[in-house]
Structure 1
Amino acid sequence: MDIVVVTTVIASLFLVIGLAEPLAARLRLPYSVILAVLGILIAAGAIFFLRTTLTDALNPVAEAILGLPIRANVFLYVFLPTLLFQATLGLNIRRMLDDWVPILLLAVGAVVVATLSVGYALSWFSTLPLAACLLIGAIVSTTDPSAVISIFRSLSAPRRLARIIEGESLLNDAAAIALFGFFLGFVMLGLPDPTLEDALSQFPLLIVGGALSGWLLARIAVRLMGLFGRYELAQQSISVALPYLAYITAEQSIGASGVIAVVAAGLTLNIVGPGRLPPEAWTNLREVWDLLAHWAGALIFILAALLIPRMLEEFRLSDAGLVLVVVLAAIAARAFILFLVLPIMGRLRLSPPVERPYRSAILWGGLRGAVTLALALAVTENFRVPVEIKRQVGILATGFTLFTLLVQGTTLRWVIGKLGLDQLSPLDQALSKQVVAVSLQTVREDVSRTTANYDLDQRIIRSEAKRFGDRLEEAVKQAEEDTEILDKDRVTLGLIALAGAERDTIIERVRDHSISSRLSEILLSDADRLIEATRTGGRSGYRRAARRVVAYGKAFRLAALLHNRAGVSGPLSRLTADRFELLLSQKLILRDLDGFIHGRIRRIHGRRVSELLTELLSRRVETVNTALEGLRLQYPGYAETLERHFIRRTQLRLEEREYNTMWADGLIGEELHTSLMQDIADRRAASEKRPRLDVALQRSELVRQFPLFSDLDDPSVKQLARALSAQYVNPGEVILRPDSTARSVYFIATGAVELERGGQTWRLGRGEMFGQLAILTEKPRRFESRAIVPSTLLVLDEARFRRLLKRSETLREAVRASAEKRGVDPDTIIPAAEPKPRKKKTPA
């Protein structure tokens, strides 16, 4: 085939891709539907020109189109890794982990249910063996949710709902292709129908082998990319190689799932990459992959659509009934998940509640596309598959895909309109009118100030001012005549706007290097949680999400357990250092939000709402300051080091701004500016390396600060520091319950604890202890203790406490005072002190 003709055809396909997106927007149809229709029309036109006798001028072009080397391996080894890898890079992993249960159940569960539903339905209405029917079920079970996601985003649907659909789509591709490979083996070898035992014996290698190979290759790639900090093109080139090497290694060398390997590699790079690469490099890498995935997704749709006329050449009238069976079984399987499983998960609080209109839109939006056609093509090209099975697979998969694209895809917007999802709620309508009125008023003031600085015709200025004033008056009138918004709703909307402003501030701070790129994803995830929790729970949801930001999570507790039980301090050191930097960044961000409340929010919602939001923000600031002060007390030296680290980054940012200003003003030349920027980049790369936190050393310093241990010598302090274990508790968390067996004594390193017994309460603070009397009296505890602020406790077991009590006079005095305060005779519970070792007399 002439290379000039092939190049012309490929360039023309890119031209079609460029025209398809604006055409889809104009026709209000999903982008994938337009691509598929254009692909079918191109293939049908090529066939027409080859068979017609009207003209032979276009025959070379038609032959080039129909002769393109479109094979299943092109889809599976070239396009699929690109799409999967980019999807994993674009995921918010930390937010996805919040919903891993519904995502996993919907992805894997939906694929399994759809495969079984379609497979057994076909086996009842056709003569195909069960393995072939299940193979068809696996091929048609993977969905392309891009249409629904894009429409949901245009409708301002809940972000959590769109995120669950994205996670489901990514994982159901992996699950469907894994099932496809499993059933294809039975069909090729002509084995008996597969059993559950067969599946359980082969799936672990597919899943675990793919995940491990993808993770290992991604770790190697990240290390290489970290070595080339100055060379962004080298980093991007390594990232491009990663998914293909992961796919090929898993498929060809290990015999595992290449799809799982690509997903694992992408997730690993998504988690580790922001901390190893500079912010600009990571942003540019994501943009490169967005472009590659856009081209790959468009090409795979067009090229797959080019095959549709050929795959339907042997279509028979009897096949229409089987296509209908596949359609009904697939829709029934998806309806089962959406209308039975998902509501049950919502009642169990494993999934966000999804309203019925949204579930109906998801059901009708379950489009199939290029992946389905690619898998069907892989079967039709396989010489080991019987001819009749190949024909049925090609026709049924193609027919079902055409139904979802041409029937469901073209009517999806209409269905969403009928469901009422394209309309704003009364609350949002009322708010939008108030926002428009306030915005127009601000614009009028700005225009008035701007035109005063120019020598313009006053007659024109007055005319335009009158026209704009009429529009403003109409907007104010509509806002006043509309249904009044309740104060409760105003507060909710104000908090949503406040959390949105917090997210924007985080992005701005990352761009000017005030916040490290490693923690930007965590901060953005916290801001998203604030927005979503406020949407669903109002003011109380905002408070819960704000408390979660400063709380000690499960990862922190697991790291503390590893440190205390196994002596592995690395995870605890990293998480503690992250907590330091997160709290410092939170303090910086929250400080900037006060102006937003008194500016925008006060204009839209009034003084009362702005004052309430100011109070809520002040409480957040106080909570962050308390948690930060606790860490400073616990790790005084490290806090100072980290603050110096922060100041140096700020100095670099301001220095960079000054050089850019001087360059823009022409005070320095291009060469000098480039040299100065390179110097700043080198110093910034060095400043991104956070100082190491030595938890063991810091704990020894902390023990020395306890008044209770002031009379211990250095060896005893070090021994005690090793014996103490840390326990991190959140506000309101119960530490000890009444009638529990006394096994440990608790020393308050940071925070405060409240003890309650019989209506009486005692509050203990930093440096104090509790739980000692129950051990010494050998009686069950009679009080309940709970933390009233984020607190760090040092825990000492009974045996070590008794030994320490004999050696420390200061500790015995503290125990004596607490016993007398509670009406317990101290002489009956405090053991005698150990005699001090007598010094040997030296001979005269």
Structure 2
Amino acid sequence: MDIILITTVIASLFLVIGIAEPLAAWLRLPYSVILAVVGMLIGAAAIFFLRTEFTDALNPVAEAILGLPIRSNVFLYVFLPTLLFQATLGMNLRRMLDDWVPILVLAVVAVVVATLSVGYALSWFSTLPLAACLLVGAIVSTTDPSAVVSIFRSISAPRRLARIIEGESLLNDAAAIALFGLFMGFVMLGLPDPTLGDALGRFPLLIGGGAAVGWITSHFAIWIMAFFKSHERAQISVSVALPYLAYIGAEQSIGASGVIAVVTAGLTMNLTGPGRLPPQAWAHLREIWDLLAHWAGALIFILAALLIPRLLEEVRAADFALVGVVIIAAVTARAVILFGLLPLLTLLRVSPAVERPYRIAILWGGLRGAVTLALALAVTESIRVPLEIKRVVGILATGFTLFTLMVQGTTLRSVISWLGLDRLSPIDEALSRQVVAVALQTVREDVARTTENYELSRDIVRSEAKTFGERLDGAVEKAEDSADILDRDRITLGLIALAGHERDTILARVRERTISARMAEQVLSDADRLIEGARSGGRNGYQRAARLSVAYGRSFQTAVALQRRLGLAKPLARLTADRFELLLSQRLILRDLGAFIDGRIRRIHGRRVGDLLHELLSRRLEATDTALEGLRLQYPGYAEELERRFIRRTALRLEEREYNAMREDALIGAEVYTALMQNLGARRAAAEERPSLDIALQRAELVRQFPLFTGFDDAALKRLGRALQTVYVNAGKVIARKDSIADSVYFIASGAVELESAGQTWRLGRGEMFGQLAILTQKARRAEVRAIAPSTLLMLDEARFRRLLERSPTLQEAVRISAEQRGLDPALFLPMGTKDS
């Protein structure tokens, strides 16, 4: 085929892609539906001109269109990895995990149920063998990611609804393709009818193997990209290769799921990429992948739609009835999962509740597209499948795809509107009216200043002011009608706005490189948790999320256990350094939020809400400062190094701003500017390197500064530092229970604890100890000890404590004072040589 003609056809397809998007917006139809219709029209026109004698002038074009190398592997190996990888790059994994149960149910269980339902329904109403019927079920059971994602992003659907459907469409391909491969083998080889166990037996290898290949490939790619720190185009080129290598590696090397491999690779890149790549490079990478996915999604629909006229050429009247059977069976199976299994899982507290309107939208949003057509095409391409099975499979898959696109796709926007999912809640509606009133008031003040500065004609100003004033009066009147928002709701909305502004501030600081790329994902995740907490739980939810942001997480506790039991200090050192940097970043952000409360939230929600938000912000800042101070006390030298690094990075940012300003003002030329920026880049790379944390060295320094260990020589301090074990506890955690056997003494390095016994309460802070009285009396503990702040404790076993007590007058005095405070005889707790002193 002439290369010029092929190039012309491909360029024309891109022209169609460019025209289809504004056309879809004008017709208020999903973009994917427009592309599918255009593709079918192009395919039908090519067949028409080639097979009629109407004109021969367009025959070369028609031959070029019909001769395009459109095979099933083109869809599965060229377009699908791009779509899957880009979707996972933009996914908020933490929020997706909130709905992991319904997503997995729809992605795996629903696929199996739909396959069996369609397969057995067809076997009752057709003469096809059961294996062929189940093959059709597997083909039509997968929702298409390009169809679903593009449609739900183009309409005003709630984000949770979109996340569930997107998550399902990304993962169900693996299950459907696995079942397809199994039943395709039975059909081609003419084997006996398969069982469900045969199908499910392959899932562990498909999923586990695919995840392993994706994880390994992604980490290798990220290592290469991080090595090319100053070569942005090289990083982007490596990212383009990643999904294809993961997909092909999983499919061809171990027979695992390429879909799962690509999704795993994308999620791994999503989680680790922002911390390993410069912020600007990461932003450009995301932009390029958005464009690649846009082209891939459009081309996959157009090219797949070109096939539809050919697949339907041999359709018969009886085939329409079978298409109806497939539609009814597939929709019924999906409804059983959504309205039967999911509510049952919610009742059993296994899954979060999915509201009924959401389930209706998910039922109607299960669109099929290019993936279904690609699998059907693979059947028609096989020379080992009987001709009648090829014909029926192609027609049924195509007919069902057309139904979902032309019926469900075109009415999905109306269904969303009918369910009320595209409308603001009464609270949000009332809030929007108040926001408009405040915004217009601000605009009027700014316009008045502008007209004075430019000395505009008074008549024109008066005329425009009258028009604008009428609009402002109307907005104020609507806002007054909405003044019945409850204070509780105002607080919730204010907290959501505050957390949203916190997220925007974090992004700005990341772009300025004030916050390192390593910490960007963590602080953004904390901000998202604050938003979700405020939405779901109001003030209490926001406070819970705020406490979690400064608490010691499970990974930290695991690292502590590894260090204590196996002597592995590196994980703990890394997480401790991350916690340092995280707290420094949080404090930086929190100090900037007060102005937003005064400038925006107070004007919209009133003084009382503003004051309350200031109080909550002060508590967060106090908790952050307390946690940071505890780390400073524990690791004084390291805290100083991190703060110096922060100052250096801030200075470099300001220096870069000055160079840019001088370049814009033509004070320096391109040569000088390039040289300055290269020097700046080298110093910035050095400043980005985080100093290492030596836990053993820092602990020895801490022991040296501990008041209870004064008078010890260096050798004794070193021995004591090796003997002490570090324990991290969150606020509210019980450290020692009443009536338990005491075997250790705890020294408080940072934080605070509360002792409760016989209705009395004592609070201890840094530099104090507890547990010594129970050990010395050799009786069960008389008090319960609970942390009242995130605390770092140094733990010493009983034998070492007794030896230490005999040698340390300072420690003996501390024991005497603690006994007297609790009304006990100090002589009962001291070594024999010290009782009379």
TM range (shorter): over 0.9
Distance 1:149 1:236, change over 3 A: closer
Is 1:484 matched up with 2:484? Answer: yes
Distance 1:455 1:142, change over 3 A: same
* Residue number in structure 2 paired with 1:328: 328
Measured in 2, the distance between the counterparts of 1:269 and 1:525 equals: 16
Distance 1:715 1:320, change over 3 A: farther
* Residue number in structure 2 paired with 1:523: 523
The answer (yes or no) to whether the contact 2:31–2:151 under 8 Å persists in 1 is: no
Task: Classify the secondary structure of the residue corresponding to 1:779.
Answer: coil
Task: Classify the secondary structure of the residue corresponding to 1:742.
Answer: coil
Q: Which amino acid aligns with 2:760?
A: Q
The answer (yes or no) to whether the contact 2:757–2:783 under 8 Å persists in 1 is: yes
* Residue number in structure 1 paired with 2:337: 337
Measured in 1, the distance between the counterparts of 2:595 and 2:348 equals: 41
Measured in 2, the distance between the counterparts of 1:363 and 1:833 equals: 81
Is 1:561 matched up with 2:552? Answer: no
* Residue number in structure 2 paired with 1:793: 793
Q: Which moved more, 1:784-793 or 1:767-776?
A: 767-776
Distance 1:306 1:101, change over 3 A: same
Alpha-carbon displacement from aligned partner over 1:255-282 (angstroms, at most 9, x marks no partner): 2222222222222222222222111111
The answer (yes or no) to whether the contact 2:437–2:475 under 8 Å persists in 1 is: yes
The answer (yes or no) to whether the contact 1:99–1:350 under 8 Å persists in 2 is: no
The answer (yes or no) to whether the contact 1:20–1:31 under 8 Å persists in 2 is: yes
Measured in 1, the distance between the counterparts of 2:278 and 2:479 equals: 47
Measured in 1, the distance between the counterparts of 2:566 and 2:490 equals: 51
Q: Which amino acid aligns with 2:300?
A: I
> TM-score, with normalisation over the residues of structure 1?
0.94
* Residue number in structure 2 paired with 1:540: 540
Is 1:52 matched up with 2:36? Answer: no
* Residue number in structure 2 paired with 1:463: 463
The answer (yes or no) to whether the contact 1:753–1:788 under 8 Å persists in 2 is: yes
Task: Classify the secondary structure of the residue corresponding to 1:761.
Answer: strand
Q: Which moved more, 1:229-238 or 1:126-135?
A: 126-135
Distance 1:394 1:742, change over 3 A: farther
Distance 1:594 1:2, change over 3 A: same
**Superposed displacement of residue 404, structure 1:** 0.6
**Superposed displacement of residue 41, structure 1:** 1.1
**Superposed displacement of residue 406, structure 1:** 0.7
* Residue number in structure 2 paired with 1:230: 230
The answer (yes or no) to whether the contact 2:171–2:259 under 8 Å persists in 1 is: no
Is 1:255 matched up with 2:249? Answer: no
Measured in 2, the distance between the counterparts of 1:515 and 1:342 equals: 41
Q: Which amino acid aligns with 1:767?
A: G
Aligned pairs, how many?
A: 834
Distance 1:443 1:348, change over 3 A: farther
Measured in 2, the distance between the counterparts of 1:736 and 1:101 equals: 36
Q: Which structure 2 residues correspond to residues 696-715 of structure 1 after superposition, within 5 A?
A: 696-715=696-715
* Residue number in structure 1 paired with 2:168: 168
* Residue number in structure 1 paired with 2:500: 500
Is 1:718 matched up with 2:705? Answer: no
Measured in 2, the distance between the counterparts of 1:348 and 1:786 equals: 33
The answer (yes or no) to whether the contact 2:514–2:653 under 8 Å persists in 1 is: yes
Distance 1:521 1:675, change over 3 A: same
Task: Classify the secondary structure of the residue corresponding to 1:368.
Answer: coil
Q: Which amino acid aligns with 1:168?
A: E
The answer (yes or no) to whether the contact 1:727–1:792 under 8 Å persists in 2 is: yes
Measured in 1, the distance between the counterparts of 2:307 and 2:151 equals: 28
The answer (yes or no) to whether the contact 2:148–2:166 under 8 Å persists in 1 is: no
Distance 1:382 1:147, change over 3 A: closer
* Residue number in structure 1 paired with 2:444: 444
Identity level (%): 75
**Superposed displacement of residue 737, structure 1:** 2.5
The answer (yes or no) to whether the contact 2:33–2:410 under 8 Å persists in 1 is: yes
**Superposed displacement of residue 195, structure 1:** 4.0
Task: Classify the secondary structure of the residue corresponding to 2:742.
Answer: coil
Distance 1:198 1:675, change over 3 A: same
**Superposed displacement of residue 360, structure 1:** 0.9
Q: Which moved more, 1:193-202 or 1:684-693?
A: 193-202
Q: Which moved more, 1:62-71 or 1:559-568?
A: 559-568
Task: Classify the secondary structure of the residue corresponding to 2:747.
Answer: strand
Q: Which structure 2 residues correspond to residues 686-835 of structure 1 after superposition, within 5 A?
A: 686-825=686-825, 827-828=827-828
**Superposed displacement of residue 193, structure 1:** 3.6
Distance 1:695 1:334, change over 3 A: farther
Q: Which structure 2 residues correspond to residues 196-595 of structure 1 after superposition, within 5 A?
A: 197-199=197-199, 201-347=201-347, 351-482=351-482, 484-595=484-595
Measured in 2, the distance between the counterparts of 1:143 and 1:723 equals: 59
Measured in 2, the distance between the counterparts of 1:157 and 1:537 equals: 22
Measured in 2, the distance between the counterparts of 1:712 and 1:383 equals: 86
**Superposed displacement of residue 18, structure 1:** 0.8
Task: Classify the secondary structure of the residue corresponding to 2:523.
Answer: helix
* Residue number in structure 1 paired with 2:76: 76
The answer (yes or no) to whether the contact 2:271–2:521 under 8 Å persists in 1 is: no
Task: Classify the secondary structure of the residue corresponding to 1:741.
Answer: coil
**Superposed displacement of residue 736, structure 1:** 2.4
Q: Which amino acid aligns with 1:375?
A: L
Measured in 2, the distance between the counterparts of 1:812 and 1:472 equals: 75
Measured in 2, the distance between the counterparts of 1:211 and 1:604 equals: 48
Distance 1:285 1:347, change over 3 A: same
Alpha-carbon displacement from aligned partner over 1:603-659 (angstroms, at most 9, x marks no partner): 111111111111111111111111111111111111100000000000000001111
Measured in 2, the distance between the counterparts of 1:22 and 1:356 equals: 33
**Superposed displacement of residue 154, structure 1:** 6.8
Is 1:86 matched up with 2:86? Answer: yes
* Residue number in structure 1 paired with 2:138: 138
* Residue number in structure 2 paired with 1:841: none
Distance 1:535 1:196, change over 3 A: same
Q: Which amino acid aligns with 1:469?
A: G
**Superposed displacement of residue 344, structure 1:** 4.0
Alpha-carbon displacement from aligned partner over 1:790-817 (angstroms, at most 9, x marks no partner): 1122333444444544554443443344
* Residue number in structure 1 paired with 2:661: 661
Q: CA RMSD in A?
A: 2.3
**Superposed displacement of residue 830, structure 1:** 5.1
Q: Which amino acid aligns with 2:119?
A: G
The answer (yes or no) to whether the contact 1:96–1:163 under 8 Å persists in 2 is: yes
Q: Which moved more, 1:62-71 or 1:187-196?
A: 187-196
Distance 1:685 1:347, change over 3 A: farther
Q: Which moved more, 1:768-777 or 1:278-287?
A: 768-777
Any unmatched runs of 5+ in structure 1? Answer: 835-844
Task: Classify the secondary structure of the residue corresponding to 2:202.
Answer: helix
Distance 1:23 1:157, change over 3 A: closer
* Residue number in structure 2 paired with 1:615: 615
Q: Which moved more, 1:296-305 or 1:154-163?
A: 154-163
Q: Which structure 2 residues correspond to residues 111-126 of structure 1 after superposition, within 5 A?
A: 111-126=111-126
Alpha-carbon displacement from aligned partner over 1:190-235 (angstroms, at most 9, x marks no partner): 3334445544653333233322222222222222222222211111
Q: Which amino acid aligns with 2:504?
A: D
* Residue number in structure 2 paired with 1:185: 185
Distance 1:116 1:716, change over 3 A: farther
Is 1:682 matched up with 2:682? Answer: yes
Q: Which amino acid aligns with 2:143?
A: T
Distance 1:27 1:604, change over 3 A: same
Q: Which moved more, 1:460-469 or 1:136-145?
A: 136-145
Any unmatched runs of 5+ in structure 2? Answer: none
> TM-score, with normalisation over the residues of structure 2?
0.95
Alpha-carbon displacement from aligned partner over 1:515-544 (angstroms, at most 9, x marks no partner): 112211221221122112111111111111
The answer (yes or no) to whether the contact 1:434–1:479 under 8 Å persists in 2 is: yes
Distance 1:404 1:275, change over 3 A: same
Distance 1:718 1:206, change over 3 A: farther
Distance 1:118 1:386, change over 3 A: same
Measured in 2, the distance between the counterparts of 1:642 and 1:346 equals: 46
